[in-house]
Amino acid sequence: MLRALLFLFIATLPGMAQTPIAPVHRIQVLIITGQDKHPWRETSPYLKGLLEASGKFEVRTTEEFKGANAETLRPYDVAVLNYSDEKLNVPDWSDSTKEALLEFVRSGKGLVVYHHSAASFQNWPEYRELVGCIWKTSSSYHSPVHDYQVNVIDSNHPVTLGLTSSFSAKTDELYAGLDCIPTSELHVLATGWDDHSLYVKKREGPTPGSPSQDEPLLWTRAYGRGRVFATMLGNDMRAVRTPGFISTFVRGTEWAATGSVTIPPEPEVAK
């Protein structure tokens, strides 16, 4: 009897005879940043905070990726590009670094392309195949920043499932004239109406007299065994605080990493 009581007492001591608690697995994210005409110094920590606040991600940031290789990316489930060298006199990534990113996604990992990152690598043809749609300096354009509606056209995809049929973008750019791969290879989730009347006082823009039209703003893309999620929303810190941006960015990152979404949308944009 005494022996049984002694065993029971020892088992209740802290750290003694307790079932070990399995560590929580968090999706491993690498934010690639460090160059952009857009405010990457402000948006990178903000995006990191959005992901970490969900409790699903562990996030690291690099501001110098041009010498990276396959080993650099090996620990991660998904990479987030907040990087653009468009119209910047900066060294290009090496061919081996570019190939490391391509192979990372081909192997079954994820990539998130955030806003102006679609404009990077103007002389790298395979980047278009990776991303799906890219901004071309010679032919893409946008009207002045303004408020507009983002219209969900596939409400059954994991990223948009449970969202309202449209949500607001605030003081944001609406990219138009993107150079896209064939629509059969691209899965557009949401579009925005590019109102050509807004270009009256802007030199660059659509062909005069051409009709206004919907433009892709959110899409996904299969690349090898991997997944790409692209969002053209979020021009600066004024534009990344909306419930629609937060929901689609965080959920899109989870989908790119895992192929599924468990994070609920922000209440303001939930059905």
14-38 pLDDT, tens digit per residue, is 554 455 666 778 999 999 999 999 9
**What are the Cα distances from residue 151, in Å, to 80, 163, 164?**
24, 10, 9
What CA–CA distance (Å, rounded) separates 242 from 66? Answer: 32
User: pTM of the full predicted structure?
Assistant: 0.91
pLDDT cut 90: percent of the chain above it: 87
Which CATH topology does 26-269 take? Rossmann fold (3.40.50)
Short-list 51, 42, 121, CA closest to 80: 51
Q: Once rounded to an integer, what is the mean pLDDT over residues 62-77?
A: 97
Question: Residue 7: pLDDT above 50?
Answer: no
Exposure string (b/e) for 10-27, b if CB count within 10 Å is 16 or more? eeeeeeeeeeeeeeeeeb
- Mean pLDDT over 126-140 rounds to 97
Cβ atoms within 10 Å of 69's Cβ, excluding its own: 14
How far apart (Å, rounded) are the C-alpha atoms in residues 61 and 159? Answer: 24
pLDDT of residue 6: 41
For 33-48, the pLDDT digits (tens) are: 999 999 999 999 999 9
Residue 247 pLDDT greater than 50, yes or no: yes
